[in-house]
Amino acid sequence: MHDDSGTQEAKPAPPGFTREQWERFDREGYLVIEDAIEPEAVRRYREALARIASRNPKYRREAFFGPQNAVTLDAELEELIDHPRHTGFAYDLYGELTKLHLSQLLMRPRNSSHNIWHPDGARALPFQVFSPRLPLQFKVGYWLTDLPRARMGNLTVLPRSHRMQYMNGYDTHEPVEGEHVLCLKAGAMTLLHCSTWHRVEPNESETIRENLFLSYCPAWINPEDRYTNDPAWLAKLTRERRILMRSYGHPYTNTKPPAEDFPLFLDRASGADRDPGVYREHVELHRRKRVTQVERWLAEEAKQSL
């Protein structure tokens, strides 16, 4: 039986942050989770990247390659829209309005272009002005090749810099004191707060750095890599994947999605589609605020500091 709210089809939210992981992410501005991606999945994703490169006439083995909207480029990557390895982390932040902001595959060969220091998101009026604590973009990294040492095209972060609006190395490649060059094994997953300053190391090795980024945001932030998606492609997706793509015909629908897109997920612990006792009965599901896991932790923290 179908009910209008979608509750009967909805599944519980996948696992997200442990309390300890959240506290570390909130303090440092990023998190590394080793061995998060099974070797078999690393192999499948690498094969998909190779297929995408081989189909693209612009691909050159010696140049940076970074096509976006990657989940549409190979059927093997569709599962990344809502994979339970990482989607729960985004849901802990953005709850019922979670949206896939960007999907991108990256190949960084020797001596190819690499990014200078920057935070993600808006520059002239950074997200941090309005959201000094919580990220308005949240970037999940899937690392598919071993990067055992520096100067292999590594992602490099400045820990705790997500509270800084100015940073001396901005728009340069210069190493800065306290930076962390991420030396990762294939299968690691990283979580990055959009306000954390980061750059990319040059690649002086023979390894082509291969990875995937999946960013999430609240639906009311514009996506980075598309306006909408092909309706025929969307029609083949599962309910959760279609919702997470937020391919709406009218821009304000991102702020107020339709009733059938609720609940995105049921509460992980209780299986409920709504928070109990906060509204009168007549208030419809798609018009109800639901508290996120991160909001709960922030509320507990505020209580403890009284």
Task: Enumerate binding residues for ligand AKG (CB under 6 A).
Answer: 106, 115, 120, 155, 198, 200, 213
DSSP assignment of 54-105 equals HH-TT--TTS-B--BSGGGT-GGGGGGGS-TTTHHHHHHHHGGGEEEEEEEE
Which one, 87 or 112, has the nearer CB to ligand AKG? Answer: 112
Please say which residue, 78 or 224, places its beta carbon nearer to ligand AKG. Answer: 224
| Min separation Cβ 213 and ligand AKG, Å | 6
| Residue with Cβ nearer ligand AKG (5 or 154) | 154
What is the nearest approach in angstroms of ligand AKG to the Cβ of residue 229? 21
**Which has the closest alpha carbon to 295: 285, 278, 62, 250?**
278
CB of 80 to ligand AKG, least distance (A): 16
Nearer Cβ to ligand AKG (37/155): 155
Which of 115, 238 has the CB closer to ligand AKG? Answer: 115
Residue number, 115 or 253, with CB nearest to ligand AKG: 115
Q: How far is the CB of 101 from ligand AKG (least distance, A)?
A: 11
Q: How far is the CB of 66 from ligand AKG (least distance, A)?
A: 8
Q: Which residue is nearest to ligand AKG (CB)?
A: 155
Could you tell me the smallest distance in angstroms from the CB atom of residue 210 to ligand AKG?
Answer: 11
